[in-house]
Amino acid sequence: MKEAMLAAPLGDDVFGEDPTVNALEEKVAALLAMEAALFVPSGTMGNLICVLNHSRMRGSEVLVGHLSHIHLWEQGGVSQLGGVHPRTLKNLPDGTFDLREMRQLVRGENVHWPVTSLVCIENTHNMVGGKVLPLTWLDQLGSACRELGLPIHMDGARLFNAAAALQVPASRIVRDCASVSVCLSKGLGAPIGSVVAGSKDFIYGAKRLRKVLGGGMRQSGVLAAAGIYALDHVVPTLPRDHAYVQDIARAITQCGGVIVRCDPSGAHTNILVLECDPEVVTPMRICQRMAEVTDEEEAALGERVIVRMLSLTDTAIRLVVHCDLTHDDIQSLIKKFQYVIKEFESQSGR
């Protein structure tokens, strides 16, 4: 990937003259069966651009899942910067939401109300453990939104993980979406960047919004080259990452579920959510311990292993497998996790 970055032909992308950026945008547009695409610095900016582009009239309202990344993890940018009102739908355990509830929340014509302009979805869904939205539900959502005259934006930060899990082209997943944002720096391993895709007119508007948000970059082909490499060489390896998560989940389940629990069947992709009882041990403490190595541990395992995880809620931990991990790395992680679980069990008297 670094060699591709060093060898990339460059130009000024603000003027549309960087050949590597242009190649990346054309590649993503083709993969998603969209008319055009736009390279942006981050997924947060990509989602913000798409929401604002669909909601040009102030007083617009966007329907989003209550556990969605746009709602929880992007600083409320759609309202803070765009004057767009978010209205939440309850995300179900599989990352979907009730389409009857969605219909009920769509605003009619009333001077007191904001105007519903957009429906946002997320695939894979981070906060429910990287689950893949079912194709049948996506088809039903598309039909409902066409009937309602509402566009759909997909936060597809991990869209290619979803495509790998479903064994379908990414274009099949987004065929009813007016826009999509895909991340190059999540499971795909690029150092930076996302790509927004949609119609030619939509991308023209997106380019104007990218500029005013400070996202116009000059010789950004050095970054786009990493994205092209990731699409060509990392995307085909995503099923391996998903299999690694299953290995970890099964190993933790075999420990008996006293300290931490997980559901292998609910881990669709490269994310594993672990549940724990905070009265026994908190997620934060488990994360801290997994990032430490004691002398006793090194002597028992014969190696020094540091595992970095995220305390997601008061009861949950998120573990994500990335493209640089090997089979040996996963086996070392499993051995450490089993050691730490036994250590906490001994301390708690369980």
Domain holding 325: CATH number?
A: 3.90.1150.10
Last residue of a domain, one of 236, 253, 275: 236
Residues 175 and 308 in one domain: no
Flag whether pLDDT at 350 surpasses 80. no
Alpha helix locations (H) across 32-158? Answer: 43-54, 69-72, 77-80, 99-105, 135-148
Q: Which two tokens stand for residue 308?
A: 């970095």
Task: Supply 223's token pair.
Answer: 């970054």
Closest CA to 15 of 203, 217, 264: 217
Is 193 found in the same domain as 264?
no
Task: Give mean pLDDT, residues 293-317.
Answer: 96
Judgement on whether residues 96 and 154 belong to the same structural domain of the protein: yes
pLDDT over 90 at 346, yes or no:
no
172 and 25 in a single domain? The answer is yes
Per the structure, how many domains does the chain have? 2
Angle at which helices 221-229 and 19-31 pack, to 10 degrees?
40
User: Where residue 48 sits, what CATH number does that domain have?
Assistant: 3.40.640.10
- Residue-number span of the structural domain to which 140 is assigned: 2-236
In tens, the pLDDT along 154-174 reads 999 999 999 999 999 999 999
- pLDDT bucket at 202, cuts 50 / 70 / 90: very high
- What is the pLDDT averaged over residues 69-92? 97
Given 236, 268, 288, which residue is the final one in a domain? 236
pTM: 0.95
* One domain, residues 132 and 164: yes
For residue range 127-164, what is the model confidence (pLDDT) as tens digits? 999 999 999 999 999 999 999 999 999 999 999 999 99
213, 236, 259 - which closes a domain: 236
Same domain, 179 and 214: yes
Residue 256 and residue 124 share a domain:
no
Quick one: 136 exposed, middle or buried, by C-beta within 10 A (0-12, 13-18, 19+)? exposed
Same domain, 209 and 250: no
User: Residue 349 — pLDDT band, cuts 50, 70, 90?
Assistant: low
Same domain (yes/no): 323, 230 = no
Both 179 and 82 in one domain: the answer is: yes
Residues 129 and 157 in one domain: yes
**How far, in Å, CA of 172 to CA of 166, rounded?**
10
What pLDDT shows up at residue 300? 96
Contacts of 228 (CB under 8 A, 6+ apart): 4, 20, 23, 24, 27
| 340 and 242 housed in the same domain | yes
